[in-house]
Structure 1
Amino acid sequence: MTRSSLYSAGAAAARTPQFRQRLGDLIAYQTDATDPASAPQLAAFLSHVTGWLTALGFTCDVHDCEGHSFLVAKRHEGADLPTILSYSHGDVVPGMAGRWRDGLDPWALTEVGDDWFGRGIADNKGQFLVNLTALETVLAQRGSLGANVTWLIEMGEEVGSPGLAEFCNHNRALLDADLLLASDGPRMDAGRPTVFLGARGAATFRLDLEHRIAGRHSGNFGGALRNPALEMAHALACITDRSGALQIAEWTPGTIPDATREALTGLTPAGGAIDADWGAEGLTPAERIHAWSSAEVLAMHAGDPPAPVNAIPPRASAWVQLRFAPGTKAAGLAEALRKHLDIHGFTDIKITQEGPSFAASQTPVGHPAAQFVTQAITEGTGTAPVVLPSLGGSLPNDIFRDGLGLPTVWVPHSFPGCSQHAPDEHLPKRLLQDATGVMSVVLGALAGTRPEDLR
């Protein structure tokens, strides 16, 4: 078949009742990784998809690493053929039941107009099903793929992928491949395929400032006692300038490579729903998101906001998240923040690094694997995809790129307005159909490819 006919066959497969039924089956598993009680649901999800993979000729084994489960499915066609490592995660964030529009059940696939709603449809159950259906499409049309596939599925990505790095490091031979080809995150916009080659890193810091055990009357002591809330506000303000540009040099990559700038030329992120005058001066919005670092205040607290009283609060807290671009040194981020706050006189603020963290990593824009995927999509769809050097968000790309030494190419099947990690998570049906066609084209292009062509 031609690449364009593979696209049509893949898109048609995503319009079938079977595709909808399978998507509903996946969403019905309440795989909230943050809830310890969901362990049986996590295991049941892996068992369910094992059946689908086995039917396609995969041999499947569930491995345990530090109390976390990883499914490794392998399909072998020939020793001289290239091997693709794919990656997915079946866990999701909390369902947030009761907060969805019109009382929608987050654990049930629901059609509203041209969209399908359900927890995990965008992140990452729907994207997994797109890739599985695309593989089925190629095998049905050709009888073989012309490549070997190893599929790694984890159940803890939403809590920082605990155990994933250790598992990959201990099982390098099992996961040996020529290319990481996977799907997560959003396209640049719903209507155009996107390829991204890496991801920004992430680290979250809690800042605490406490001056006394209890509050003090704001009239009797006002103007004579240090106010932790005011001091915290000034401390946060020194991390960026008034336009949100980072003021901690060690938190940035320093420069943006010319190839990265060229790839981002003319691109408008998030469908244009951005503040063009916010962020580092001299950079385009696309460069600020995909090639530079940013700090965001996720939350801050002092006193009792629901019922403020006439008292100087005794303490204040804030949570600052850094998204750092490839080229930024991951080591020493907390120390750089400490030094910066001390220089500005905020030596009393305690810094604690919290939650999961990800390293920044990226495959070069001109890498043969990136060129292979981009060319396949262009020839199969008639439209060149958007190529992003790095995703603005964070995912465990570094484990595959730096840990396993693989070129990493991601073909995302979501879009910026999907409401992932929030109520009303959804995807347009037409996007799922287009994505399945696109991925059928990419997988179909593997036939006749040599391992060295991807390296």
Structure 2
Amino acid sequence: MTRDDAVSRATTYFDSGHLQSDLAKLVAYRSESQAPVQAAVLGQYLTQAIQPRLDAMGFDCTLHDNPSTQTKGGPFLLGSRIEDASLPTVLTYGHGDVVWGQDGAWREGLTPFELIEEGDRLFGRGSADNKVQHLINIAALEAVIATRGKLGFNVKIVLEMSEEIGSPGLAEMMAMHCEALSADVFIASDGPRLSAQRPTMFMGSRGGLGFDLVVDLREGAHHSGNWGGLLADPAIILAHALACITDARGQLRIPEWHPTSLTPDVREALRGLPVGAEDAAKVDSDWGEESLTPAERAYGWNSFAILAMTAGIPDAPVNAIAPSARACCQLRFVVGTDPEMIIPSLRRHLDAHGFEKVMIVPHEKGVFGATRLNPDHPWVNYVKASLKKTTGKDPHVLPNLAGSLPNDCFADVLGLPTIWIPHSYLGCNQHAPNEHVLKSVCREGMQVMAGLFWDIGTHTPIAKAE
């Protein structure tokens, strides 16, 4: 049996409709980690949907409660299939939890926890993030085993159920089980391709830190006629405080928020990479750091965003000065930014501009660290060559994703070279109503992963780690 046989078997899994039916079963689990009432479903996803499949593949699986003492998170599944201790070992990962379903906000004919097929699209919450992504990788492993009779390497897997609330407990789990999870390389799937027509691989991600800015001046609202001009307005104070963080085009005004890692080699790696997508939001050419290209802004720089703002009662305003105002904020940051200095430098900046009354309230949700692997790493070149061999196309290679992932748990805690191969695309509406995945991307994802796993079982780019 040959590599082509394994790729053909993986293709048949998709063409026969098995991937679609298997994904439908996964999407049906209402695994919203943000909803405490769904706590039981998080465990059921692992015990009912994932573990039986891994058991049938020869994995030894264990289930673990979340060790986090700060944020209550879902359980973990750790699994391993060891063919020979002398063989190289791949660690892979996925998360079965999803964000809020947002029932009622989806367009007519769609519902979040039922997989619905329309043309090239498979709609459903978690279809893109992340259920189809780990399903494809598990099914590709199955295809290689069925073709070759073995993998030719060892594989370990981590499935978590709390990624959408910041992966609480994941770093602790990796530290607690670092020996059991030792490997030569980390290969997993999440996030979007840069283009639906070409594979993407990235070796890290931007970090993400959330916090609220709050101005809370008094008890109760006061009539705007009787008290206007006499009482400080929290919303106005907050608006000016937010305006001092960036200029009118979103350029960062806090020096410590400027990363030091946009080096010539990183710029070269980002040169010519596409941003945005045909079905996604258009890129505003007059927004962000003026001296940077769009790719450098997205993958090589930090960005500040205001996710939500409230003062008074927006849906039913009254003639009153609100007692408080709040803005939910976020900084996405790359390697070269000290995460321990983000909040202290913001505090100093606000105070220097006269906004001592503005409180900074860090979010309880976990912080994803920023990571990046050198694009010239041997494993990067190896995976790149394998993807091209399967598709005939040069994959897009990113030093890091623009979004945030718990990659630091694998790169920093376990010390592994990390490579992500996404099976979604930028227009997938993840975290929004009408989330979907493209069947064409899923089909090619089955092919590239089967080809890659076949190759790893044949030869690897570097000797097995001691």
- Shorter-normalised TM range: over 0.9
Residue deviations 1:395-454, cap 9 Å, x none? Answer: 100010011100000000011111111111111211110111111111111023348357
In 2: Cα distance, 1:187 partner to 1:395 partner: 15
Match of 2:158 among 143, 147, 152: 152
Contact 1:244 1:278 survives alignment (8 Å): yes
1:332 aligns with 2:338: no
In 1: Cα distance, 2:27 partner to 2:222 partner: 51
1:423 aligns with 2:433: yes
Contact 1:368 1:453 survives alignment (8 Å): no
**Aligned counterparts, 1:8-27, within 5 A:** 8-27=8-27
Contact 2:87 2:464 survives alignment (8 Å): no
Alpha carbons of structure 1 residues 390 and 17: separation in structure 2 relative to 1, 3 Å: same
Residue deviations 1:145-180, cap 9 Å, x none? Answer: 221000111111111111111111011111000001
Deviation of residue 259 (structure 1)?
Answer: 2.1
Give the TM-score normalised by the residue count of structure 2: 0.94
| SS of 1:358 mapped into structure 2 | coil
Contact 2:128 2:428 survives alignment (8 Å): yes
1:81 aligns with 2:90: no
In 2: Cα distance, 1:156 partner to 1:215 partner: 38
1:42 aligns with 2:75: no
* Counterpart amino acid of residue 77 in structure 1: E
* Counterpart amino acid of residue 309 in structure 1: V
Match of 1:137 among 130, 140, 143: 143
Match of 2:52 in 1: 51
In 1: Cα distance, 2:292 partner to 2:247 partner: 15
Match of 2:322 in 1: 313
Contiguous gaps of at least 5 residues in structure 1: none
1:225 aligns with 2:231: yes
| SS of 2:451 mapped into structure 1 | helix
Match of 1:295 in 2: 304
* Counterpart amino acid of residue 217 in structure 1: H
Deviation of residue 255 (structure 1)?
Answer: 4.0
Match of 1:174 among 154, 165, 180: 180
After TM superposition, the structure 1 stretch with the greater mean CA deviation from structure 2, 364-373 or 10-19, is 10-19
Give the TM-score normalised by the residue count of structure 1: 0.96
Deviation of residue 213 (structure 1)?
Answer: 2.0
In 2: Cα distance, 1:216 partner to 1:99 partner: 35
1:322 aligns with 2:339: no
Deviation of residue 293 (structure 1)?
Answer: 0.4
Residue deviations 1:314-373, cap 9 Å, x none? Answer: 221111111011111111211111001011110111111013311111111111111111
Residue deviations 1:236-274, cap 9 Å, x none? Answer: 011111111111121231340222211111112122621
**Aligned counterparts, 1:145-294, within 5 A:** 145-271=151-277, 273-294=282-303
In 2: Cα distance, 1:263 partner to 1:8 partner: 33
Contact 1:145 1:447 survives alignment (8 Å): yes
| SS of 1:14 mapped into structure 2 | helix
Match of 2:421 among 411, 419, 424: 411
Match of 2:65 in 1: 64
Deviation of residue 15 (structure 1)?
Answer: 1.8
Percent of residue pairs bearing the same amino acid type? 47
1:368 aligns with 2:378: yes
* Counterpart amino acid of residue 179 in structure 1: V
* Counterpart amino acid of residue 414 in structure 1: S
After TM superposition, the structure 1 stretch with the greater mean CA deviation from structure 2, 9-18 or 330-339, is 9-18
Contact 2:305 2:329 survives alignment (8 Å): yes
In 2: Cα distance, 1:312 partner to 1:111 partner: 49
In 2: Cα distance, 1:326 partner to 1:254 partner: 8
* Counterpart amino acid of residue 448 in structure 2: V
Contact 2:81 2:156 survives alignment (8 Å): yes
In 2: Cα distance, 1:221 partner to 1:161 partner: 46
Which runs of 4 or more aligned residues in structure 1 lie more than 4 Å from their structure 2 counterparts after TM superposition?
1-6
After TM superposition, the structure 1 stretch with the greater mean CA deviation from structure 2, 338-347 or 364-373, is 364-373
Contiguous gaps of at least 5 residues in structure 2: 68-72
| SS of 2:445 mapped into structure 1 | helix
Deviation of residue 206 (structure 1)?
Answer: 0.7
In 2: Cα distance, 1:437 partner to 1:295 partner: 38
Deviation of residue 6 (structure 1)?
Answer: 4.2
Contact 2:424 2:438 survives alignment (8 Å): no
| SS of 1:345 mapped into structure 2 | coil
| SS of 2:180 mapped into structure 1 | coil
Match of 1:400 in 2: 410
**Aligned counterparts, 1:380-391, within 5 A:** 380-391=390-401
Match of 1:33 in 2: 33
Give the paired residue count: 455
* Counterpart amino acid of residue 412 in structure 1: P
In 2: Cα distance, 1:153 partner to 1:125 partner: 11
Residue deviations 1:281-336, cap 9 Å, x none? Answer: 21111111111100000111112222222332222111111101111111121111
Residue deviations 1:197-216, cap 9 Å, x none? Answer: 00111111111112222333
In 2: Cα distance, 1:76 partner to 1:13 partner: 25
